[in-house]
Amino acid sequence: MQDQGKKKEVSDAERQKLEVKVQSVLRLRHRVVECFRTNQEDKYQPLLRQLQEVKVSRFVLAKTGIGYLVAKPKEWPVKLQPLVIALKQSWERVAKDTDAIHGHGRLTILPLDKLPFRGDSAKLFMQKVALLGSWMKTVDKELNSDEIYKEGAMAMVMTGLDAPKALDGLCPEDAGDFHASPTVRSMLARCFDEASAQGRARRVKMSAVRREQEKEIVRGCPQKM
């Protein structure tokens, strides 16, 4: 019985050690995502060096989704791409399953909204953020910094709501579910209200079009004698 207790204690310690490692890798992942998001050219090389120093395991790759950061080397600055390719290949050997790197295999246990860039390429993800952020800035009745709109747009795109039409139906009160910042929440609330208003107008217009089409059909039908 004592031996079993000792084994359990070691197992708990190992689990705790793994969890610490996972949290450390997630923090690094966040810094890399921030670098791509803001295009900090002087940060790419130091961050890549930090990624190279990470001792990954199948568990860490699956739990953190960090493999996405090197899955598409062409997203990185040209001079760093050979190093990114080498790192990707190294991590693929650790995973022993290419799908584990790309996030679609059995080893990946993170949902899309927990993966870097929601599983998209960094370029596509930031394009979605830019388009939605631009719309938010256009319809918002208060003047905010571009960073506020980018933060709000990123929060929405990360949940899969990546276009104005996707915000239709959300209430201003829902804004608190998407961001912690009071300023961003207020902006999102106004944008949700506007998106729903645009949605209502769109439905009214579509309903009017359908009624006209029905009238045309009736006019075209031969009258019964």
Q: How confident is the model at residue 15 (pLDDT cuts 50, 70, 90)?
A: confident
Least Cα distance to 25 among 58, 68, 65 occurs for: 65
In angstroms, the CA 2 to CA 12 distance is 15
Average pLDDT over residues 146-155: 92
Q: What is the pLDDT of residue 97?
A: 59
Q: Which residue has the tokens 């079993």?
A: 4
pLDDT band at 3 (very low <50, low <70, confident <90, very high): very low
- Of 55, 49, 68, 48, give the one whose Cα is nearest residue 21: 55
103 pLDDT more than 90: no
Residue 101 φ/ψ, nearest 5 degrees: -70, -40
* Domain assignments of the chain as residue spans, ordered by start: 2-114, 124-220
Q: Phi, psi at residue 119, to the nearest 5°?
A: 85, -5
CB 100: neighbour CB atoms within 10 A? 21
Considering only residues 10 and 111, tell me which one the structure prediction assigns the higher pLDDT.
Answer: 111
Distance CA 32, CA 64 (A): 13
Q: What angle do CA 158, 79, 32 make, to 5 degrees?
A: 25
End-to-end alpha carbon distance in the chain: 97
Contact between 100 and 67 under an 8 Å Cβ cutoff? The reply is yes
- Write the DSSP assignment of 16-41 as a string of letters: HHHHHHHHHHHHHHHHHHHHHHHT-T
User: In angstroms, rounded to a whole number, what is the distance separating the alpha carbons of residues 127 and 26?
Assistant: 23
CB 141 within 8 A of CB 190: yes
Q: Residue 14 pLDDT > 70, yes or no?
A: yes
Mean pLDDT, range 163-185, rounded to an integer: 92
Query: Residue 7's pLDDT is what?
Result: 41
Give domain 2-114's CATH architecture: Up-down Bundle (1.20)
- For the whole model, what pTM was predicted? 0.65
Q: Regarding predicted confidence, which is higher, 81 or 117?
A: 81
